[in-house]
Chains A and B, each alone.
Chain A
Amino acid sequence: MAEEKKLFKVTIDNITIEVEPGTTILNAARMIGGDVAPPAMCYYSKLKGSGGKCRTCLVEVAQGSAADPRPMPKLVASCRTTVMDGMVVKNITSERVLDARAGVVEFLLINHPLDCPICDQAGECHLQDLSYEHGKAGTRYEFKRRTFEKHDLGPYIQLHMTRCILCYRCVFVADQLTEKRVHGVLDRGDHAQIATYIEKALDNDFIGNVIDVCPVGALTDRTFRFKNRVWFLKPVDAHRDCPKCAGKVTLWYRGDEVFRVTARKDYWGEVHDWICNECRFEKKKTSDWVIEGPTNVSRHSVISANHYVKKEQPKELLPEIIGRNPKLLMDIHDVSEVNKPTIHLSALPGPAHSDDFNNNGVSSK
């Protein structure tokens, strides 16, 4: 290109950045990074057409552009509004935005059950983070919530429609990653629900990605259901030669058991590469993978709790002094019923039930 592209100058929360025309405010803010970037529940940069549904990314435009400096009368959804030259945007510096966002969170939580202690998404749930950031951990809603039956979408994915916030991300995944979409949103209003037509299993190779894009715990991994909490697992980057996908994943370890496999996620919680169902659900052995090293987890995430990275262990002096290893007074596995080394919870196809524990053999390998 001979002619130089004109860059738009946009100021977000008093930080000025030059971006290409056509960039949305949200993406411009993400280029700055940090707290300036508005949260997004429905927008997903890798999915075309996503965004504009959840209203959590609302920002105030204090000055429309250099040519027309009037402010926009209402708050705008930053994921759908493109920048103009000389635009001044207020995100966290605006009272109005914070107030509106707190309201949006409260609306999202009207029908969302507050069952984080049960939900498998807890700890990596964007709605949970959002509601805690806005001080809306509780609810003022007193009426009956919309509830649905739990639904198995095929053998691997469980749909818990009660938790859904209708962000449409999974619909876009099914639309854009797979050739034919068999699930979509049915009905409208309060009855709107993600559903497959006539219980049709989603048997496409890439449908497992709906688990990763779901911002809440509506679509969860059935092979991981209730097995463990994410913050007790250790994320490790790994890859394998996969004919279908890039094969770059995060393995979630507990001891030397792989409890689940997910795609690698970036700073905004979006996946780097889509992974196929085979990588996600069927390769749960360390021998299937080439380990690259522990995943970098943000220090503020609960997942980093009790994960000691770059630790320096002091040298054990006792064996040197007494000339032998100290005697083990009790092996915890002799007494403890939990985490038996002979029992592999991760090998169960679905969640564990009472009979799995009563029969004293949780699929021992």
Chain B
Amino acid sequence: MQPLTNRAKPVDRRPMTLVERIYLWNIFKGMMITLKHLFKRKATISYPEQKRPFSPVFRGLHILNRDEEGRERCTACGLCALACPAEAITMEAAERKKGEEHLYREEKYAARYEINMLRCIFCGLCEEACPKDAIYLSETFAPANYQRKGFIYGKKDLLIPHPKEDPEAYKKALGNRYKQSQNAN
């Protein structure tokens, strides 16, 4: 049969020599590799105390964005749900009433917005589909949970903290993107 790659090696079936049969030399060779690694830099970190920086393109837990005045940007257009290959996003829209202008940016808004994190594959297509800059994949993981029902994220789990009422938490939630936007200005 013709080999698929040129990396195939014939098996060496010669009987072992005396040195090989004793194994000591081979054990010594193996130990040398282990010893060598003792003096190399460690590949692991002690996780909760130390954290690795996220890549700028990291796609983590979703966040529903607000504008500078703290109004929700999402207008429940449904494009994220349409783009979602895992069909994880569902929403119900409502009309903004008079007097709610400080809460919602547009005349229509998502009264209910849910992401099923059991379905979500963190592909980021919702972020790309959003015409209103309302949904972002942030730099955090979706935390583990003991029960399935803990993975249905509603609006109160997803909304970014209010930029005026809680500026510290807002800045933290923005993460590196906030620093980038500050540098750009």
Contact = CB atoms under 8 A, between A and B. Distances in A.
Given A332-B152, A337-B154, A352 B100 contact: no
A334 B147 CA distance: 13
Given A118-B75, A353-B95, A337 B112 contact: yes
Given A305-B82, A338-B112, A345-B92, A117 B77 contact: yes
A122 B106 CA distance: 16
The listed residue with most A CB atoms (<10 A of its CB), out of B92, B93, B97, is B92
Nearest to B104: A354
Contacts of B77: 116-118, 122, 229
B78 A330 contact: no
B149 interface: yes
A229 B148 contact: no
A338 B92 contact: yes
A338 B152 CA distance: 11
A231 B82 contact: yes
A225 interface: yes
A22 B99 CA distance: 57
Interface residues of B, number: 30
A304 to B, nearest CB: 12
B82 A227 contact: no
A337 B114 contact: yes
A148 interface: no
Q: What class of interface size applies to chain A in its complex with B?
A: 20 to 34
B91 interface: yes
Contacts of B107: 118
Contact of A225 (B79, B92, B95): B95
Interface string B81-115: 11000010011111101001000001110011110
A296 interface: no
A226 B148 contact: no
Contacts of B76: 226
Nearest to B106: A118
A226 B90 contact: no
B78 A353 contact: no
Contacts of B149: 330, 334-335
Contacts of A351: 94-95
A117 B95 contact: no
Contacts of B78: 228-229, 231-232
Contacts of A199: none
B175 interface: no
A227 B81 contact: no
A313 interface: no
Contacts of A305: 82
A339 interface: yes
A334 B116 CA distance: 13
B165 to A, nearest CB: 19
Contact of A336 (B90, B94, B95, B100): B90
Given A330-B148, A332-B116, A337-B112, A352 B154 contact: no
25 contacts: A117-B79, A118-B77, A225-B95, A226-B76, A226-B95, A228-B78, A228-B93, A232-B82, A302-B82, A305-B82, A306-B87, A334-B149, A335-B148, A336-B114, A338-B92, A338-B114, A339-B90, A351-B94, A351-B95, A352-B92, A352-B93, A354-B94, A354-B111, A356-B111, A357-B92
Given A226-B94, A352-B111, 19 more contacts: A116-B77, A117-B79, A117-B131, A118-B107, A118-B108, A226-B95, A226-B108, A231-B82, A305-B82, A330-B148, A332-B152, A335-B149, A337-B154, A338-B113, A351-B94, A351-B95, A354-B100, A354-B111, A356-B111
